[in-house]
Amino acid sequence: MNFEENYPILKSTDLVQLTEDFGSPLYVYHAETIKRQYERLTKAFSSVSLKVKYACKALTNIQVLKYIHGLGAGLDVVSIEEAMIGIKAGFSPKEILFTPNGVAFEEIKQAVELGLVINIDNISVLEQFGHEYGNRIPCCIRLNPHIAAGGNSHIQTGHIDSKFGISVHQLRHVLRIVNSNKMKVNGLHIHTGSEILDSSVFLRVAGLMFEEANQFPDLEFIDFGSGFKVAYKEGDYTTDIEELANDFTSLFSNFCKEYGRNLELWFEPGKFLVSEAGVLLVQVNTVKQTMSTVFAGVNSGQNHLIRPMFYDAYHHIINISNPTGKQRLYTVVGYICETDTFGWDRKMAEVREGDILAILNAGAYGFSMSNNYNSRLRPAEVLIENGKARLVRRRETIEDLLGTQTL
């Protein structure tokens, strides 16, 4: 399959017209792409009791959440605010896994009061939880496997120096706390990172988890996080979900037989579900020739899509206003008063001032990581479902920036 064929949004909709209808910059999401990814995952793991918990930190637009809930997914949240948005979108508290880190115990208590599934990744919090709730409220425990995996050091969460999870080498301490407080541990959780290139990492983590799981008699599920790799450019490696599922489900089924009953298998895809579903549409303000390059300066920046600057992430960029133009090299930069680069030396159809560029793979960690640096306003969001585009978040105004300030 040609790389751009993964993005039906490019052909199913007149994106240039959307910028005329809703302005630019503009985030656009394609519902059917989310559905394609969800169904691919659930079909691959259909031989076991799979529960998909969408990692909503990737994209929290409430209309997108409603759509994902309609597909049958649950939710993975990392803050009480995300949980509240999820409930507002129609998720029941029992469908929401609360996986915070570094929060005050008061926030944990709020999550209990809401009725969320609680995931604990800190021995101190585990002790407080046991003293407060005993066996009245079950909890899940997040373990750190000391396995480094992920596409960038910023998104590796399972290595020995990570702040996430309780070390597997502290398991005896964990068990003492659990047993002394008669706690009910209903789940185990592990997440090694994002954009994992080697599928064997999942199998190594599974083997480790299954060894430790036998020490917890009340388990209802095991959550393996996510980290499935999607393509950002032509020839990019991706996680072979079907191959992984074939090996993984066999291991999981064998473990369930040894454990004595069938457990649920949980995954928390974020980027896998929504990354390819989203594009950021930007307008070219200036074309600037220098001694070394040609800059295409656009009406957006790292305040709207921070991944290229924060993670050195590659995002494919297309000139959709002049798709048949002569191919030239451009460095696409933003309007923020910093080094603000979307892509260096990108070959694309000739760029003219006023053209609309589409930045792909913008569905995950795009708008959700946006900010108001330089007092710039955040863009509108549009959802395309069944060929129809609708506004799902209006563009910010200066009144929004001033609304929380004392004037």
Q: Which residues contact 183 (CB under 8 A, 6 or more apart)?
A: 129, 130, 133, 134, 135, 138, 139, 177
Per-residue pLDDT, averaged over 358-382, amounts to 98
**What CATH number matches the domain at 45-271, 3.40.50.300, 3.30.70.80, 3.20.20.10, 3.40.50.720?**
3.20.20.10
- What are the residue numbers of the active site? 337
Of 32-41, 49-58, 143-152, 162-171, which gets the smallest average pLDDT? 143-152
Whether the pLDDT of residue 159 is over 80: the answer is no
Whether the pLDDT of residue 78 is over 80: the answer is yes
| pLDDT score of 100 | 94
Residue type, 132: E
CA distances from 146 to 143, 162, 164, 199 (A): 9, 8, 10, 17
Fold of 278-402: Lyase, Ornithine Decarboxylase; Chain A, domain 1 (2.40.37)
| pLDDT score of 12 | 80
Whether the pLDDT of residue 5 is over 90: the answer is no
pLDDT digits (tens, 9 = 90+) for 245-265: 999 999 999 999 999 999 999
Whether the pLDDT of residue 193 is over 70: the answer is no
Report residue 293's pLDDT band, with 50, 70 and 90 as the boundaries: very high
156: β partners: 193
Whether the pLDDT of residue 160 is over 70: the answer is no
Rounded to the nearest integer, the mean pLDDT of the chain is 93
Whether the pLDDT of residue 1 is over 70: the answer is no
Report residue 203's pLDDT band, with 50, 70 and 90 as the boundaries: confident
CA distances from 257 to 95, 242, 253, 308 (A): 26, 23, 6, 45
Per-residue pLDDT, averaged over 93-120, amounts to 97
Report residue 150's pLDDT band, with 50, 70 and 90 as the boundaries: very low
Distance CA 118, CA 112 (A): 7
| pLDDT score of 13 | 86
Of 47-56, 89-98, 227-236, 344-353, which gets the smallest average pLDDT? 227-236
What is the percentage of the chain residues whose pLDDT exceeds 90? 83
Whether the pLDDT of residue 151 is over 50: the answer is no
| pLDDT score of 194 | 59
Whether the pLDDT of residue 225 is over 80: the answer is yes
What's the 3-state SS for the chain?
Answer: CCHHHHCCHHHHCCHHHHHHHHCCCEEEEEHHHHHHHHHHHHHHCCCCCEEEEEEHHHCCCHHHHHHHHHHCCEEEECCHHHHHHHHHCCCCHHHEEECCCCCCHHHHHHHHHHCCEEEECCHHHHHHHHHHHCCCCCEEEEEECCCCCCCCHHHECCCCCCCCCEEHHHHHHHHHHHHHCCCCEEEEEECCECCECCCHHHHHHHHHHHHHHCCCCCCCEEECCCCECCCCCCCCCCCCHHHHHHHHHHHHHHHHHHHCCCCEEEECCCHHHHCCCEEEEEEEEEEEECCCCEEEEECCCCCCCCHHHHCCCCCCEEECCCCCCCEEEEEEECCCCCCCEEEEEEEEECCCCCCEEEECCCCCCCHHHCCCHHHCCCCEEEEEECCEEEEEECCCCHHHHHCCCCC
Whether the pLDDT of residue 156 is over 60: the answer is no
| pLDDT score of 227 | 84
| pLDDT score of 148 | 52
| pLDDT score of 161 | 64
Distance CA 213, CA 234 (A): 40
| pLDDT score of 352 | 98
Q: Are 53 and 73 in contact (CB under 8 A)?
A: yes
φ and ψ at 47, to 5 degrees?
-80, -10
Q: Give yes or no on whether 45-271 and 278-402 have one common fold.
A: no
Dihedral of CA 235/241/246/252: which sign? Answer: positive
- Give the residue extent of every domain in the chain: 45-271, 278-402
Per-residue pLDDT, averaged over 96-123, amounts to 96
Report residue 168's pLDDT band, with 50, 70 and 90 as the boundaries: confident
What is the percentage of the chain residues whose pLDDT exceeds 70? 94
pLDDT digits (tens, 9 = 90+) for 173-184: 999 999 999 999
Question: What is the model's pTM?
Answer: 0.93
Residue type, 304: H
Residue type, 288: K
pLDDT digits (tens, 9 = 90+) for 387-404: 999 999 999 999 999 999
Distance CA 167, CA 338 (A): 39
